[in-house]
Amino acid sequence: MRDIDIVNLYWERDERAIKETDAAYGNYLLKIAKNIVTDIEDSKECVNDTYVKAWHSMPPQRPAVLSAFLGKLTRELSIDRIRTKSRKKRGGAQYTYALEELGEVAMGGDTTADTVELRALAQSIGAFLQTLPLPARHIFVGRYFFLDSIRDIAAYCHKSEGAVKTTLHRTRGALKEHLEKEGLL
Amino acid sequence: MKRHDILSAIGLIDDIMIEETAAVRKKHRQHTVRALVSLAACVAVLLCGIVWRITYLPAIDISFTHHLNSGHGSIWCYDISAYDETNPWDSKTPVRRLPVYKNAVTDENWQVIGGLSKNEMTKLAQKAAKTLGFTIKDVEERQYGGELKFTTEQADILVDPYGSVDIFFGGWGKLDNTGHIPLPDGYTFRSDADFIEAEKALLYLTETYADLLDFSQPFPYLTSTFSFSGERHYEYRVYEGADTAAERILNHACKTASFGCDEEGNLSAIRLTNALAPAKKLGNYPVISSSEAYELLLEGYYVNHAFPPVDKDTVIHKQALVYRATIDDATILPYYVFYVEDPTTYHNIAEGLTSYNPYFVPAVDRKYIKSLPLWDGTTNK
Complex ipTM tops 0.90: no
Evaluate whether B150 touches B136 at the Cβ level (below 8 Å).
Answer: yes
Give the number of residues written for chain B: 381
Evaluate whether A132 touches A178 at the Cβ level (below 8 Å).
Answer: no
Tell me the one-letter amino acid at B324: R
Tell me the one-letter amino acid at B139: V
Q: What is the model's pLDDT at position B70? A: 45
User: What are the distances in angstroms from CA B49 to CA B44, B54, B60, B97, B102?
Assistant: 8, 8, 20, 20, 20
Instruction: Identify all chain B residues contacting A103, using CB atoms and an 8 Å cutoff.
Output: 3
For residues B275-294, average pLDDT: 92
Q: What is the model's pLDDT at position B381? A: 41
**What is d(CA B345, CA B355) in angstroms, rounded to the nearest whole number?**
10
**What is d(CA B245, CA B39) in angstroms, rounded to the nearest whole number?**
38
Q: Is A76 on the interface with B (CB under 8 A)?
A: yes
- Residue contact A118–B8, C-beta within 8 A: yes
Q: What is the model's pLDDT at position B158? A: 95
Q: Which of A32, A57, A67 to mutate to test the interface with B (most CBs of B within 10 A)?
A: A67
User: Reduced to 3 states, what is the DSSP secondary structure of residue A69?
Assistant: helix
If we measure between CA atoms, which residue out of A122, A132, A73 comes closest to residue B21? A132
pLDDT tens for B148-206 read 999 999 999 999 998 999 999 999 887 788 999 999 999 999 888 888 999 999 999 99
- Residue contact B21–A28, C-beta within 8 A: no
For residues B66-93, average pLDDT: 73
For residues A159-177, average pLDDT: 92
Q: Write the secondary structure of B266-315 as one string of H (helix), E (strand) and C (coil).
A: EEEEEEEEECCCCCEEEEEEEECCHHHHHHHHHHCCCECCCCCCCCCCCC
**Shortest CB distance from A118 goes to which of B5, B16, B29?**
B5
Q: What is the model's pLDDT at position B273? A: 95
Q: What is the model's pLDDT at position B374? A: 63
**Shortest CB distance from A106 goes to which of B6, B18, B28?**
B6
Instruction: Identify all chain B residues contacting A157, using CB atoms and an 8 Å cutoff.
Output: 24
Question: What is the chain A residue with the closest CA to B12?
Answer: A122
Tell me the one-letter amino acid at B88: P
**pLDDT tops 50 at residue B295:** yes
User: Reduced to 3 states, what is the DSSP secondary structure of residue B318?
Assistant: strand
Q: Is A161 on the interface with B (CB under 8 A)?
A: no
Question: Residues 5-44, chain A: which have Cβ within 8 Å of B?
Answer: 28
**What is d(CA B49, CA A96) in angstroms, rounded to the nearest whole number?**
48
**Cis peptide, bond prior to residue A59, ω within 30 of zero:** yes
Classify each residue of A81-109 as buried b or exposed e, where b means 16 or more C-beta atoms within 10 Å of its C-beta.
bbeeeeeeeebbebbeebbebbeebbeeb
Question: What is the chain B residue with the closest CA to A73?
Answer: B11
Q: Is A79 on the interface with B (CB under 8 A)?
A: yes
pLDDT tens for A46-99 read 999 999 999 999 988 898 889 999 999 999 998 888 877 655 555 566 777 887
* Banded model confidence at residue B68, pLDDT cuts 50, 70, 90: very low
For residues A113-122, average pLDDT: 76
Q: Any alpha helices (H) in A16-160, and if so which ranges?
A: 16-36, 40-57, 66-84, 93-102, 115-131, 134-144, 150-156
**Shortest CB distance from A141 goes to which of B18, B27, B28?**
B18
Evaluate whether A153 touches A164 at the Cβ level (below 8 Å).
Answer: yes
**Shortest CB distance from A64 goes to which of B15, B26, B32?**
B15
Write out the DSSP string of B149-207.
Answer: EEEESSEEEEE-TTSEEEEEET-TT-SS-TT-EEPPTT----TT--HHHHHHHHHHHHH
Q: Return the number of other C-beta atoms located less than 10 Å from residue A58's C-beta.
A: 20
Evaluate whether B70 touches B230 at the Cβ level (below 8 Å).
Answer: no
How far is Cα of residue B200 from the mean position of the Cα atoms in its chain? Answer: 26
Please report the beta strands in chain B, taking only residues with DSSP state E, as ranges in sequence order: 75-77, 97-102, 105-106, 112-113, 136-141, 148-152, 155-159, 164-169, 181-182, 218-226, 232-240, 255-261, 266-274, 280-286, 316-324, 331-341, 354-362
**pLDDT tops 50 at residue B89:** yes
* Banded model confidence at residue A109, pLDDT cuts 50, 70, 90: low
Percentage, residues of chain A above pLDDT 90:
46
Write out the DSSP string of A163-179.
Answer: HHHHHHHHHHHHHHHHH
* Banded model confidence at residue B348, pLDDT cuts 50, 70, 90: confident
Q: Is A64 on the interface with B (CB under 8 A)?
A: yes
Question: Can you say whether the dihedral through the CA atoms of B285, B289, B290, B292 is positive or negative?
Answer: negative
> Who has greater pLDDT, B11 or B47?
B11
**pLDDT tops 60 at residue A108:** no
**What is d(CA B208, CA B237) in angstroms, rounded to the nearest whole number?**
14
Q: What is the model's pLDDT at position A49? A: 93
Running DSSP on this structure, what letter comes out for residue B368? Answer: G
Burial of B136 (0-12, 13-18, 19+ CB in 10 A): middle
**What is d(CA B66, CA B183) in angstroms, rounded to the nearest whole number?**
39
- Residue contact B21–A76, C-beta within 8 A: no
Q: What is the model's pLDDT at position A116? A: 63
Q: How far apart are the first and last CA of chain A?
A: 44
Tell me the one-letter amino acid at B295: E
CA angle B326, B190, B74 (to 5 degrees): 35
pLDDT tens for B201-243 read 999 999 999 999 999 999 999 988 888 888 888 899 999 988 8
